[in-house]
Structure 1
Amino acid sequence: MDIDYRLDGPSAAPLLVLSNSLGTTLELWQPQIAALSERFRLLRYNQRGHGTTPLPQGPLTLEILGQDVIALLDSLDVERAYFCGISMGGLTGLWLNRFHPHRFHKLAVANTAARIGSAEGWQQRAQQVRQEGLAPIAAASPARWFSEEFQHHEQQQVAALIGQLAQGNAAGYAACCEALAQADLRAEVPHMLAPMLVIAGEQDPVTTVADAQWLVAHAPKAKLALLPTSHISNVACPQLFNQQITQFFAD
């Protein structure tokens, strides 16, 4: 198993997989550890090209990102788990709900969409990162990730996440962009059979409330939760985020 992962919480508790967003590492979930580890065994992991998780030999795809989660569950001898992913991690969760719903009790997908952005936009970003590195992307990320109010009041927290992105693996980031360019699950949403909570940020310019509403309208067992935040909702609004997923998983 070449996926970099961490386990937190009581070993006998149900497993909850946490899947982070593009350009972040498993540390993104720090605001969730204390609250969620009271009820769950938490599995955080770094997606391909992030942290010390290597890229595959060939092109990276959404299927590979999803199969990595299944491989982690298999390696830990976990038949069924809970899942929570944000942005790219949320899209990974959508793929899992379509192709491996029997492996999950319930899934929460935050700040995501069945189709994030456009193929052209992701390809252009991949090309930019391969040519210029991650610094320009990092400089533009605060406005995509957080509201102006959060940026103003939590400057240190924002700077830490942006600094981490700037120092990340440019080749890994670009490969994920290319995977996102090809990822389109819109036709698959009606076949996502596991219960699913779709969390949207009311101020999210990347994956909008309309994107979340579309998912809920077309998935058989989906429920919508709106949070007063932008794209990285688990960081900007941790208490409400934790409450929403804890309640959904408990119902």
Structure 2
Amino acid sequence: MAMGDRGSVALHHVIEGPADAPPLVLLGSLGSALDMWRPQLPALTPNWRVIQVDHRGHGGSPVPAGPYTIAELAGDVLALLDRLELDRVHFAGLSLGGMVGMYLAAEAPERIDRLALMATSAGYPDKAPWETRIEAVAHGGTDAIADAVVRNWFTADFAAAHPDTVDWARDSVRKTPDLGYLGCCQAIRDWDHVARLGEITAPSLMICGTDDPSTPEQPHGATIAAGIPGVRFELVRAAHLLNIERPGEVNALLTAHFGG
């Protein structure tokens, strides 16, 4: 059995880049699928074997009954690495993907080479917003929260200049299966890895958005910056999906961190 209590599911994934290049896993946010990484592919695929992954309950992955735990989401990733016969990988995760990355780097350190975290949290002291969102999705599905979620994903200026990206983002949330979204919300509500951050030995990069209402620098980025030994901490002018809003800066930070 994997890291979770109930075993793993076979995650949907797409691999691009040279077969003999160092493997790099990309794992995204709640309410997204692997297409959220399109802005990174031109920078990453020349030098890495880029493995883009859908969380359980998202995109093309199975939707088991919830609630889920971050340990189970991490177990899914380990099972995928085992299937791909990859002992050790670089890992980049944004938001929920970053939580999975922190769990893996602390609890299965032999599997993670270098770690990049973006717009993420080691735990939410205030559970109330997650309870509210869980209730909204339980009653109205992902349709009920799509507009509110996407308002946090991009700054107002970026959203006004890129309406097509905003439309894509809303569709991404709405297309996420209600049960999968709900299960992952419950995992995030119950997530608290602050006390384990000191166990992370992988060389780590944390990128925080200056205008991110979902995982602001205080307390989220600052907690991670204080907790992971030797972490490099960077700020970019963006909201939550900073990889889409500031791809040039983010890609430069990622390629430097992973050794490109």
Residue deviations 1:106-131 (CA, integer Å, cap 9, x gap): 10010001114633322321121121
1:121 is matched with which residue? 129
1:68 is matched with which residue? 76
Task: Report the residue type matching 1:220 in the other structure.
Answer: P
Aligned match for 1:78, one of 56, 77, 86: 86
Provide TM-score, normalisation by structure 2. Answer: 0.92
1:67, distance to aligned residue in structure 2 (A): 1.2
Aligned match for 2:162, one of 146, 154, 165: 154
1:240 is matched with which residue? 249
Aligned match for 1:183, one of 179, 187, 191: 191
1:136, distance to aligned residue in structure 2 (A): 2.3
Percent of aligned positions that are identical:
33
1:237, distance to aligned residue in structure 2 (A): 0.6
1:194, distance to aligned residue in structure 2 (A): 1.3
1:187, distance to aligned residue in structure 2 (A): 1.0
Aligned match for 2:117, one of 98, 109, 132: 109
Aligned match for 2:63, one of 55, 58, 75: 55
Structure 2's unaligned 5+ residue stretches are 1-8
SS state at 1:206 partner: coil
Distance 1:51 1:14 in 2: 25
Residue deviations 1:170-204 (CA, integer Å, cap 9, x gap): 11101110111111111111111211100100111
Q: Is the 8 A contact 2:34 2:52 kept in 1?
A: yes
2:225 is matched with which residue? 216
Distance 2:157 2:169 in 1: 16
1:194 is matched with which residue? 202
Task: Report the residue type matching 1:14 in the other structure.
Answer: P
Q: Is the 8 A contact 1:116 1:207 kept in 2?
A: no
RMSD: 1.4
Task: Report the residue type matching 2:238 in the other structure.
Answer: T
Distance 1:183 1:56 in 2: 19
Distance 2:188 2:19 in 1: 34
Task: Report the residue type matching 2:112 in the other structure.
Answer: F
In structure 2, do the counterparts of structure 1 residues 33 and 223 end up closer, same or farther at CA, with 3 Å as the change threshold? same
Distance 2:103 2:48 in 1: 23
1:57, distance to aligned residue in structure 2 (A): 4.8
Is residue 148 of structure 2 the alignment partner of residue 140 of structure 1?
yes
1:88 is matched with which residue? 96
Task: Report the residue type matching 2:122 in the other structure.
Answer: A
Distance 2:111 2:171 in 1: 35
Is residue 49 of structure 2 the alignment partner of residue 41 of structure 1?
yes
Task: Report the residue type matching 2:139 in the other structure.
Answer: Q
Structure 1's unaligned 5+ residue stretches are none
Is residue 105 of structure 2 the alignment partner of residue 97 of structure 1?
yes
1:50, distance to aligned residue in structure 2 (A): 0.4
Distance 1:164 1:219 in 2: 32
Q: Is the 8 A contact 1:4 1:51 kept in 2?
A: yes
In structure 2, do the counterparts of structure 1 residues 110 and 117 end up closer, same or farther at CA, with 3 Å as the change threshold? farther
Residue deviations 1:129-178 (CA, integer Å, cap 9, x gap): 12111122111123211101100101111111112211321111011101
Distance 1:221 1:4 in 2: 33
In structure 2, do the counterparts of structure 1 residues 218 and 46 end up closer, same or farther at CA, with 3 Å as the change threshold? same
The number of aligned residues is: 251
